[in-house]
Amino acid sequence: MSELTTKKFDWSQPIHEHVTGMANIAARLKSMGMEVNESFLVQFIMNFFPPEFSQFQVNYNTLKDKWNFQEIKAMLVQEGGRLKKMKDHFIHLTTHGSASFSKAKSGKKNKKDKAPMKVYKGNIQKDQKCFFCKKVDHFKKDCPKRKSWFKKKGTFHVSVNFEANIIEVPNNTWWLDSRAITHVSSIMQGFLSIQLIKGTEKYLCMGNKMKALIEGIGTYRLILDTGYCLNLEKCIYVPGCARN
């Protein structure tokens, strides 16, 4: 009798064999004159299942019609299969998830270790030269000659420049700069109105320290491909400019 009341299910054997073993114990007790009622046998079986079956036990206790031995046996086998499947799925996800994480982490580490080290030799490309002194070992903003020139002149300028340098540019090409202070045209065609400058000579200073004579000022109209007309006010006319 003590074996029947203390026999717990611990997943060491299939549920079918465990429940059948308890039924065999009850049969032996019956042969010894100690009959175990079927409802008591079912209750003994239910009481000694692990906590994983707690929800199953709660659902069973809420039933009005209790199950017999064969019914409880079939339902426990079904519930055990469901729990085992969930447990295996959880282990599968945990194992593979950790492995994937470790692999990814290891992969990143190996990739980082195997990545070739970038070596900066410190040389500057030929087209990255100073546009003030034309040397290639520094940029215009760091040019010592330019800084010395500003210092001697007593004037300091702070500006943001976007420079475009193209080897071959047609003379009729327009460069649009939204931050431009002065618009320049090297041709008169396109001016809606223009006032020629006579008498006092005015010049346009270039980046290469050259000067170009300003011959007029007026309103220039650009007709874009979309048909939109862009009027440039106070556009100066400088025939000596190679580019607009």
What pLDDT, in 10s, does the model give residues 95-119?
Answer: 555 555 555 555 555 555 555 555 4
Asked, for residue 81, whether it belongs to a domain, the answer is yes
Q: Tell me, yes or no, whether 56 and 17 share the same domain.
A: yes
Q: Tell me, yes or no, whether 201 and 220 share the same domain.
A: yes
Query: Which of 76, 94, 112 is the last residue before a domain boundary?
Result: 94
Asked, for residue 111, whether it belongs to a domain, the answer is no
**Residue whose structure tokens are 């599968």:** 92
Q: Tell me, yes or no, whether 90 and 23 share the same domain.
A: yes
Among 2-11, 122-131, 143-152, 189-198, the range scoring the smallest mean pLDDT is 122-131
Q: Tell me, yes or no, whether 75 and 27 share the same domain.
A: yes
Q: Tell me, yes or no, whether 125 and 44 share the same domain.
A: no
pTM over 0.85: no
Q: Tell me, yes or no, whether 177 and 157 share the same domain.
A: no
Q: Tell me, yes or no, whether 11 and 87 share the same domain.
A: yes
Q: Which of 166, 241, 157 is nearest to 203 (CA)?
A: 241
When divided into structural domains, the chain yields a total of: 3
Domain that holds residue 146: 120-163
Q: Tell me, yes or no, whether 179 and 227 share the same domain.
A: yes
Q: Tell me, yes or no, whether 13 and 75 share the same domain.
A: yes
| 244: confidence class by pLDDT, cuts 50, 70, 90 | very low
Task: Encode pLDDT of 197-226 as tens digits.
Answer: 877 778 877 777 788 888 899 999 888 878
Task: Encode pLDDT of 82-98 as tens digits.
Answer: 887 777 655 555 555 55
pLDDT average, residue stretch 140-154: 76
- What is the pLDDT, as a whole number, of residue 36? 80
Asked, for residue 193, whether it belongs to a domain, the answer is yes
